[in-house]
Structure 1
Amino acid sequence: MVDRPTAVWRANVARDAAELATGVIGPEEAVSARLWPDEMIRATDAVLDGFEADVAGLVDHRWEAATDTEVLEVVERTVRALNAVNNQFHGAAYETDERELLCEYIDRVLGAAGIEADELARRNGLLSGDITGPWRDW
């Protein structure tokens, strides 16, 4: 299983809460819960659940490899769902660090399923390292 960006965000929120509770940091320094509110993390996890299930469906018990079109449809559906989450949070759910983690996660999940994201991008005229680009608003 590939580690999710949401696990990183939850860990940061928990660390800030623990440090705030013990006085290591003050309220002004405990920013993680504002950056990654629980509702946003849960909404992102729901999208990632769907992505993982869709990717599994591309490779599990199939006689032939998934087509590029099938894979890109899964990526597009996922990115558009993440766009919707981002929009729920006024375009501020996913900034640069979050974007990098999400894009890396998508590539790693595909890779774990035997789908090489960079090759997929190359074959389809997309930027290597960013197969989310055509649909991503964040």
Structure 2
Amino acid sequence: MAERPTTNWSEGIAQEAAELAAGTLDPDCACMSELFPDGLLLETDAALDTFEAELPTLTEGDDAQTFAIVERVILALNAVNEAHDESAFETDEREQLCAYIDEALTEQGIDVAALTARHGIGRYALTDRWRDW
């Protein structure tokens, strides 16, 4: 399964904590736990849990179903972003989340490039219709 961005973010928090404990990182330079508070990670994982649970129901060629699942995860992530003062997902996080969605769909057998081409959008615009972050 595609690696969730939240896994990467959690690993960054743990690495930063280890560096702080070892004295190899200036506390003024530590920011990971502020950028990714527990609530943000839990809420993001909940949205991704639902998305992953729906993936096995997808069938190649059922574009409406695929778009519906993408819409639901994006709307759930929009709600997470709103709950965190519209600043939960910056550029890096946006790119990681969109790449994760693309990878997860691809692993499920969805040809994302063909799907988006059939609808006249670029592959990397898959989430744009619904995404507020």
TM-score w.r.t. structure 2 length? Answer: 0.96
**Which residue is 1:4 aligned to?**
4
> Structure 1: which amino acid aligns with 2:107?
A
Instruction: Verify: 1:90 aligned to 2:92, yes or no.
Output: no
Render the CA deviation track for 1:41-82: whole Å, top value 9, x for unaligned: 1110111111111111224xxxxx451000000000110000
**Kept after mapping to 2: 8 A contact 1:117/1:129:** no
Distance in 1 separating the partners of 2:97 and 2:61 = 22
The alignment partner of 2:82 has SS state of helix
**Kept after mapping to 2: 8 A contact 1:121/1:128:** yes
The alignment partner of 2:106 has SS state of helix
For residues 49-88 of structure 1, the aligned pairs below 5 Å read 49-59=49-59, 65=60, 67-88=62-83
Distance in 2 separating the partners of 1:75 and 1:53 = 12
Higher relative contact order (CA 8 A, sep 6+): 2
Distance in 2 separating the partners of 1:48 and 1:130 = 19
Structure 1 segments of 4+ aligned residues over 3 angstroms from their partners: none
**Kept after mapping to 2: 8 A contact 1:20/1:26:** yes
Provide structure 2 residue ranges, at least 5 long, that are not aligned to the other structure. Answer: none
Provide structure 1 residue ranges, at least 5 long, that are not aligned to the other structure. Answer: 60-64
- Give 1:103 deviation, angstroms: 0.3
Instruction: Verify: 1:136 aligned to 2:131, yes or no.
Output: yes
> Structure 1: which amino acid aligns with 2:104?
V
Give percent identity, aligned residues only.
Answer: 44
The structure in which a higher percent of residues are helix is 2
Distance in 1 separating the partners of 2:20 and 2:69 = 40
